[in-house]
Structures are given as C-alpha cells and as structure tokens.
Amino acid sequence: MSLPDLIGAVQPRIALYLPHRPHGMEELVMAPSARTLVAANSNHWRKIVTLLAKVASPEADDWRRFRDEELFQQTALCFAPQLIKSLCWHWIGGKENLQRFGHLQHSAVPLAGCQEILIDPDKRLLLTPYLDYRQLSNALVSEIRSALSAHGFYCG
C-alpha cells in the first residue's frame, strides 16, 4: 500500500509541497486537522501549519482561527514531487525540496527587495525558503501576502 500524498482540500486555494510526511497520515487524510497534526508531531509541524495559515488566511489578523478551523478546507499539504492538477497556487518551500521536482519549468522572479522569495504568477508558483520562523519571518510573510494579493489570491 502506498503512502498518501495529500492532506487537505482536493481543490485547494494553495498547496504547500513538503519533502517529509508527518506522523498519523492515515488519520489526517481521513479527517484533516491542524490540531491533530500538531498533537501527533513535533513543534516543527506547528511552525509549518502556522506559516501556511499566516499566508493563506483571507484576513491577516485572523490566521489563528483560520489555522484551527479552516486550514485544510482551503489548503493542502502535498508530499509528491509533482504539482497537483489544480488551478491553485503551488508553494514549494526550500531549495532542496525544489530539486525533487526535477525539470519544473517556471519563470519565477524574486520579489522586489526580497531575493529569497520568488513568484511565477502565470504558473501560480511561489518559491520560498523552507518553512521555519528564522527563514520566513513575519516581515517576509507580509511580503508574500502582498505579492499574492496583487495577483488576486485573497479575492473571492
């Protein structure tokens, strides 16, 4: 039996691609929950779901409620090294993780004044450092939100 490759919405607004699966995948696939994911795993996973919520939440100041109540209704964590077939935004965190995607064709360019965050709006592709507070500070999350907002992510 193969391991599942996705936790969360089948047609997410944004899919976050990570190289490692959390513990408790079977339960999380059946009933996706940020609380369950964090409870079954390390503080590292709390940071990941928190950063995903801070970026994906329709209201920047409402990310905690969004994380706890809606995160996996609107987003997904993906573990396969290929983009899902969806019109969503695709977020690949980490250079080593990006290498798993082989010959992914894109035209991602750095955000102005933020060389470590790249975006390809035509492919709805977001490339960032790996999801960790030291690498993705609140200031960088704000830059990401601004870039996504400029491309209509938070509309509708």
Structure confidence by residue, pLDDT tens digits, 36-67: 999 999 899 999 999 999 999 999 999 999 99
Distance CA 106, CA 35 (A): 34
Question: What pLDDT sits at residue 3?
Answer: 60
pLDDT mean across residues, the chain: 93
Q: Please compute the mean of the pLDDT values over residues 29-36 and round it to a whole number.
A: 94
Q: Please compute the mean of the pLDDT values over residues 60-85 and round it to a whole number.
A: 96
Structure tokens at 117: 């965050």
**Among residues of the chain, what percentage have pLDDT more than 70?**
97
Question: What pLDDT sits at residue 156?
Answer: 62
